[in-house]
Every structure is written in structure tokens, then in C-alpha cells.
């Protein structure tokens, strides 16, 4: 589904704030300021390709800056891959900077301070690629941020430009791709990165599922209170298919639903033991169950007793759940 942000939809006096809020929602917090232009205009169209967010940004001259404080507030942990299609932009990060003109490619790391300045009448395509998707050596690419990729560097660099441009047009024009096609297209970005930044900078395929599993497990731990938590919600949060979520968890030896249930009951047993005054209904709600009856039934299946009896359960040994 394509999302569009266009400053022409609001009065001129409100455009910069409108753009700042929209960019923060679709990217992350940044400071925006006009550069020499009497008025501010910009437009962003975005879509999704597997786990990769694709944006087309065009507008008049303006500058955006991302500070350490903004990074601490929100960091998607992505590599931003830029393809310039019209005009000029100037990007900076660490002690590096470069100017990009049509056909040029460069990247930035969302986890470190940076600036981006577009000149009048620019258009740039931006691919927000999660670091977990690239692999454990994504930092190797990040160390070469704000460095223009030479058009003659790598066998695939030349073909990369039309491929990226077509992918962005398809994704941001409202046509979109199916979930399966999107995942396949996203996978095709990785050989391009390998060609542009060197094979030593891209980890092997085995590290990406491991990194994704860890990220999904952190997400589960942060959302155990949500009754809607399940494979579908996890898939949506990580821009992958539900089938792939099941595959990733199965490879670790535990199904996704079983892993969620185990973590919920670990927390519930701990709370029942620590807080005997807390009602069963309250504990059930805190750990993602809408109805105490369904919580009690599931609890009995796992532990062999009712939740009220679990207040006296012994401490579990290792990963073995206590049984009444």
C-alpha cells in the first residue's frame, strides 16, 4: 500500500512543521529547515518491499539533520541506500561527505548523526534496509556511509540503477508487489550491496535469520501484555510473511505460539509467587489473556494446577516449568 505525504495539502505557513511530523512518522525524528527558498515544498511517496521501506522524495531546497538526542529517542537501525534521480543532494556523516547527482548511489546509517541537504528541484529514491536483514556485518557498510559509489565499481553497480529505479516506481506508484514477490525483490537487493560495498561487508545468509529471530523475540517480550500478539502481529511488525515467522521460530526448536505461551507463563508464575494479593484476573490481563477462565485453563494444561495453587510452586529448575 502506497503512502503519500505532500506539503501542498496544507497552507504555506504550516508546511515545514507538517513535513517534519510526517518524516518523523515515516522515518524517524529529524530537524528540518528551508535553504534559501521563499517557500517550502516537498513530497514523499512510500511503499514496502518485504522488510525494506522504499521512498521517493522530491522537493525544493531544504536541509534535515539527525542528532544524537534524536537517535536516542528513536532508531529503526537501518541503512539508508540513496539513488539520485534528479537534481543534487549533499549528505554528511562522521567525517565524510559527498554530493550526489543523477545516477549516483550512497548510503547513510540511521544510528549515527547525519545531515541531508537537497538543492532546488531534487528527487531521490531511498531504500530503508534493516541491519538485521543485511546481516551482522552491516556496520561494515555503515563505515562507508556518505561516500559516493563509483559507477564503475562492481559488476552489478551499473545494472543496479535501473533495477532500483523500477522497483521504486512499482512500489511507490500504487501498484505494489505481493508479499512473496516483495520478499524476493528485497532479497535481490543484497547482491547489489555486495557488489557495491564488497563481499566482505555482507554476512552470510545464516546470520540474518538468527538476527531476525532475536529481534522478533525482543518484540514478543515487549508485547506479552497484548492479547493480539501472535504470528500475524509479529510478521506485520517485521515486514515479513506469517509463514516466514513460523519458519524462523521452528528453526530454533520452538514454535512461535509455544514460545509466546512459555514467556507469558514465566511472567505469570513469577507475579503469582511475588504478589499473593493480586487477583487471578489481574494477572491474566497483564500477561495477555482477555478472560481469566481461558488463562486458568491454559495454565492448568502447562503446570497441572490452577493459578491460585501456583502461588506456592517451587522455583523452576533450569528451563523446566514447575509442576504442582
User: 0.95 exceeded by the pTM?
Assistant: no
Q: Concatenated DSSP letters for 78-114?
A: EEEEEEEEES-EEEEETTEEEEE-TT-EEEEETTS-E
CB 103, CB 151: distance < 8 Å: yes
Closest by alpha carbon to 26, among 98, 128, 102?
A: 128
* Average pLDDT value for residue range 311-319: 57
* DSSP classification of residue 320: B
CB 20, CB 6: distance < 8 Å: no
- Amino acid 277: pLDDT: 80
> Does residue 256 register a pLDDT over 80?
yes
If one looks up domain 3-201 in CATH, what number appears? Answer: 2.60.120.10
Closest by alpha carbon to 122, among 193, 199, 177, 62?
A: 62
Q: What is the residue whose three cell numbers read 501542498?
A: 8
Most confident of the ranges 60-64, 80-84, 171-175, 307-311: 80-84
Which residues 6+ apart lie within 8 Å of 250 measured at CB? none
CB 302, CB 261: distance < 8 Å: yes
Share of the chain above pLDDT 70, in %: 87
Q: Tell me the per-residue pLDDT of 109-142, one tens digit each, with 9 for 90 and over.
A: 999 999 999 987 899 999 999 988 888 678 888 8
The angle formed by the CA atoms of residues 76, 78 and 82, to the nearest 5 degrees, is: 130
Produce one character per residue of 34-51: b if its CB has 16 or more CB atoms within 10 Å, e if not.
beeeeebbbbbbbbbbbb
Task: Give whole-number Cα distances, 2 to 103, 247, 262, in Å.
Answer: 24, 28, 37
Closest by alpha carbon to 90, among 67, 65, 70?
A: 65
Helix (H), strand (E) at residue 262: helix 256-274
User: What angle do the packed helices 231-238 and 207-222 form, to 10 degrees?
Assistant: 120
CB 51, CB 186: distance < 8 Å: yes
> Does residue 203 register a pLDDT over 60?
no
If pLDDT is split at 50, 70 and 90, which confidence band does 231 have? Answer: very high
If pLDDT is split at 50, 70 and 90, which confidence band does 314 have? Answer: low
- Amino acid 204: pLDDT: 44
Q: Tell me the per-residue pLDDT of 177-187, one tens digit each, with 9 for 90 and over.
A: 777 888 888 88
- Average pLDDT in the chain: 84
Torsion, Cα 296 302 307 310, to 10 degrees, reads 180
CB 213, CB 249: distance < 8 Å: yes
Q: Tell me the per-residue pLDDT of 11-39, one tens digit each, with 9 for 90 and over.
A: 988 988 898 888 888 788 888 887 776 67
> Does residue 207 register a pLDDT over 60?
no
Domain with CATH 2.60.120.10 in the chain: 3-201
Domain with CATH 1.10.10.60 in the chain: 208-312
The topology (CATH level 3) of 208-312 is Arc Repressor Mutant, subunit A (1.10.10)
> Does residue 201 register a pLDDT over 50?
no
If pLDDT is split at 50, 70 and 90, which confidence band does 9 have? Answer: very high
Amino acid at each position: 500500500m502506497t503512502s503519500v505525504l505532500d506539503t501542498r495539502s496544507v497552507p504555506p505557513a504550516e508546511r515545514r512543521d507538517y513535513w517534519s511530523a510526517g518524516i518523523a512518522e515515516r522515518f524517524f525524528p529529524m530537524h528540518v529547515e528551508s535553504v534559501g527558498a521563499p517557500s517550502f515544498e516537498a513530497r514523499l511517496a512510500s511503499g514496502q518491499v518485504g522488510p525494506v521501506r522504499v521512498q521517493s522524495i522530491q522537493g525544493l531546497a531544504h536541509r534535515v539533520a539527525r542528532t544524537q538526542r534524536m537517535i536516542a529517542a528513536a532508531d529503526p537501525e537501518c541503512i539508508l541506500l540513496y539513488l539520485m534521480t534528479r537534481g543534487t543532494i549533499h549528505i554528511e556523516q562522521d567525517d565524510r561527505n559527498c554530493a550526489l547527482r543523477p545516477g549516483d548511489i550512497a548510503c547513510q546509517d540511521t544510528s549515527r548523526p547525519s545531515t541531508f541537504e537537497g538543492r532546488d528541484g531534487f528527487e531521490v529514491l531511498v531504500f530503508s534496509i534493516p541491519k538485521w536483514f543485511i546481516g551482522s556485518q552491516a556496520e561494515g557498510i555503515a563505515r562507508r556511509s556518505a561516500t559516493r559509489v563509483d559507477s564503475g565499481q562492481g559488476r552489478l553497480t551499473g545494472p543496479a540503477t535501473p533495477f532500483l529505479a523500477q522497483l521504486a516506481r512499482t512500489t511507490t506508484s500504487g501498484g505494489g508487489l505481493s508479499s512473496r514477490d516483495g520478499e524476493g525483490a528485497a532479497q535481490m537487493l543484497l547482491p547489489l550491496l555486495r557488489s557495491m560495498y564488497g563481499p566482505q561487508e555482507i554476512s552470510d545468509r545464516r546470520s540474518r535469520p538468527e538476527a531476525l529471530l532475536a529481534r522478533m523475540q525482543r518484540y514478543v517480550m515487549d508485547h506479552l501484555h497484548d492479547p493480539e500478539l501472535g504470528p500475524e502481529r509479529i510478521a506485520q511488525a517485521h515486514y515479513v510473511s506469517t509463514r516466514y515467522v513460523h519458519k524462523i521460530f521452528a528453526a530454533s526448536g520452538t514454535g512461535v505460539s509455544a514460545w509466546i505461551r512459555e514467556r507469558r507463563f514465566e511472567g505469570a508464575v513469577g507475579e503469582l509467587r511475588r504478589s499473593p494479593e493480586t487477583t487471578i484476573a489481574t494477572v491474566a490481563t497483564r500477561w495477555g489473556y482477555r478472560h481469566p477462565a481461558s488463562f486458568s485453563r491454559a495454565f492448568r494444561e502447562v503446570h497441572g494446577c490452577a493459578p491460585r495453587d501456583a502461588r506456592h510452586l517451587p522455583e523452576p529448575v533450569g528451563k523446566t516449568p514447575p509442576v504442582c
